[in-house]
Amino acid sequence: MTMKRNFIQQTLVFSGMAGCMVACIMASSCKDEARGQVYDPNVPVTVTDFYPDSGGVATQMILNGSNFGTDLNNIQVYFNKKKAAVIGSLGDKLYVITPRRPGDGMPDDGDPDHDQVDITVQVGEQSATYDKKFNYHIQTLVSTLCGRPGTTETKVGTLGETEFKGEMGFLAVDAEDNLFVAPRELWGANKLIMVSMETNQSSIIIDNAGQAPLNQPCVIDHGNGLVIPTDQNNTYWMVHSADFWQPKRRDYMAAEGEDADKVNTVYKHSFAYCELDGYFYCRRKDASNFFLKIDADTGNAWVLDTGNNDLLGSSDCYMTFGRKDPKKLYMALTNLHCIAIFEDITDPTREGNFKIYAGMQGRPGHADGLASDAQFHSPRQLVLDEEENLYIADSENNCIRKITPEGVVSTVIGIPGKSGYKDGTPDVALFTQPWGLAIDSEGIIYVGDKDNLCVRQLSIE
């Protein structure tokens, strides 16, 4: 019964349709005590049917069959040639999340937004493919990747077992599409957790960063490392794949000849890495006319004067550099409810370099449309996709916003002003204080849903 209880806990990451799934499993597992058997390589793996028979990216599914075993490290599921996330197994039922766009681009019914896809289960050296095909539809959908509301301890393991304590915070994705999660424990033992969708596992990278929460992680060195600011003082943490992600605690300091008073920091909320020069940048709280430019390896910091460009230092600030134009710096000014842009970090004193990009400074609200007419309410972490669309965690509006390169603002998902916890399509999905955002190589966006204590997965097609 212990195995069944643990598995039911795993399945609680699902919502909506998945709630019905869990109820069905609980009922049927009471009737069938034979479930949960270890995989037997001398017995064929068989597949029978699956539910639902259609859906899009991140659809939560049950696959039925036999001799799957319960070791998730031994089970792989493919939609055509794309691997799906396997959340759990009862031996004769698998719980999976569909991957993004697994179709072959050759829809069977002439609909370009629809593909019929083979589902194959591989256990050990054996594999079996369902006779029926899955009808894949292109759609926008949010689902829960890991964590769930109301948990009180940090737990790692499979994605279904992963839980968070305190508040969900900020996110980052590395070059291998590993997700890094910084849950926030005010006056607690703050941690950095790595989540691997490839292996379906989470692990602790920093076990105790101290009582000051970790803020927005910053990807450096072409995605092979991270620097993470703490909430207070000059302290930051650095992890790198070359060091097998072993954490290093550091404090940046004024480089020779620099003004130590400007470098010394009370509060900071994000770093942004510039591919042009290999430094990461910080706009510390209350710094209105300068950035700090920091060397990750040495911790040396230089004061970058911005002349007459007022950076509105009274507001918390979250930043990211442009992808197509890496000298351009986007800035979410949380307390001023707007998005700003610094046009050219290589010419910092140029007149007019800093300007409001979207939203109305000091006027919280919700409005889509042209950037100059749009309104935000406490925007936080922001990310860019390959097309330079800017996505923003609009925390007090409980939704995810988008700004196109042409300056048009829209609400991608979430119901403005309505909090809650619900997976699904844009017309029903709910968040409660989304703070964190990260994007992977396939364009899937991960949302740190602060008060729901979970990581949500937003698939936009």
pLDDT at 384: 97
Q: Which CATH class is domain 46-104+112-136?
A: mainly beta
pLDDT at 186: 83
Instruction: Say what angle helices 2-11 and 17-31 make with each other, to 10 degrees.
Output: 170
CA distance linking residue 396 with residue 393, whole number of Å: 9
Using alpha carbons only, give the angle 437, 16, 118 rounded to the nearest 5 degrees: 80
CA distance linking residue 380 with residue 274, whole number of Å: 20
Ramachandran area for residue 426 (φ above 0: left; ψ -120 to 50: alpha; else beta)? alpha
Average pLDDT of the residues of the chain: 90
pLDDT at 113: 59
**Could you tell me the pLDDT band of residue 322, with boundaries at 50, 70 and 90?**
very high
pLDDT at 139: 79
For residue 141, pLDDT beyond 90: no
**Could you tell me the pLDDT band of residue 460, with boundaries at 50, 70 and 90?**
confident
What are the beta bridge partners of residue 93? 64
pTM over 0.85: no
Q: Are the C-beta atoms of 433 and 420 separated by less than 8 Å?
A: no
Q: Average pLDDT, stretch 66-91?
A: 94
For residue 9, pLDDT beyond 50: no
Q: Average pLDDT, stretch 131-135?
A: 96
For residue 170, pLDDT beyond 80: yes
pLDDT at 112: 54
For residue 246, pLDDT beyond 50: yes
Quick one: 140-460 is in which CATH superfamily?
TolB, C-terminal domain (2.120.10.30)
For residue 129, pLDDT beyond 90: yes
Q: State CA 132 to chain mean position distance.
A: 33
Position with higher pLDDT, 178 vs 106: 178
Compute φ and ψ for 43, nearest 5 degrees.
Answer: -115, 135
Q: Are the C-beta atoms of 226 and 219 separated by less than 8 Å?
A: yes
What strands, in cross-sheet order, belong to the sheet with 201-206?
167-173, 179-184, 192-196, 201-206
Domain with CATH 2.120.10.30 in the chain: 140-460
Residue 218 corresponds to which tokens in the numbers above? 């910053």
Residue 450 corresponds to which tokens in the numbers above? 């602060």
What strands, in cross-sheet order, belong to the sheet with 54-55?
54-55, 134-137, 114-117
Q: Average pLDDT, stretch 190-215?
A: 95
- Dmax of the chain from CA atoms? 75
Q: Are the C-beta atoms of 279 and 268 separated by less than 8 Å?
A: no
Q: Burial level of 12, CB count in 10 A (0-12/13-18/19+)?
A: middle
Domain with CATH 2.60.40.10 in the chain: 46-104+112-136
pLDDT at 20: 44
Q: Average pLDDT, stretch 384-398?
A: 97
pLDDT at 336: 98
Tell me the CA distances in angstroms from 32 to 8, 23, 26, 50, 376, one per residue in order. 15, 14, 10, 19, 52
